[in-house]
Amino acid sequence: MVLVSFSIQRNWYRLTSRSSSEMHQKLRFFQALRFLTMTLVVFGHAVLLLVITPTSHPEKLEMLMHDIGSMILTNGVQITQTFLAMSGTLLAIQFLDFAEQRNGRVGFLYVPMAIVIRYI
């Protein structure tokens, strides 16, 4: 079972398959926004590497920081908090949907067991 976790074919199918449930269809836009914020977080970290490395023309870098796009990226706390809030909301929705399927019988071991089952 552990070897299947690293299967390219199985993981590719899971990445490219779409859920047909009504809840997932309604949350597609929310997932797209979460993807956008995740992309901004990754891009912000890549730009951070450029900012902290020595450069021969620091004036250009300083002028770049006056651009509105650079201001948004360097103000990454809000982007990160937005990403974490959206991810937490989606996790809560999924957990409540799971609890509804089990008629409210969800214990404290659900989250650790879900993590273990995910990797087995």
pLDDT digits (tens, 9 = 90+) for 6-61: 778 888 887 788 777 888 888 888 889 999 989 988 888 887 787 778 878 888 87
pTM: 0.64
Residue 45 forms part of a structural domain: yes
Distance CA 19, CA 24 (A): 6
Residue 12 forms part of a structural domain: no
Residue 5 forms part of a structural domain: no
* pLDDT over 80 at 115, yes or no: no
Residue 94 forms part of a structural domain: yes
**Number of domains present in the structure of the chain:** 1
pLDDT of residue 99: 80
111 C-beta neighbours (distance < 10 Å), count: 12
- Token pair, residue 5, equals 């976790």
pLDDT of residue 2: 63
What is the extent of the structural domain holding 76?
18-119
Contact present, 119 and 3 (Cβ < 8 Å): no
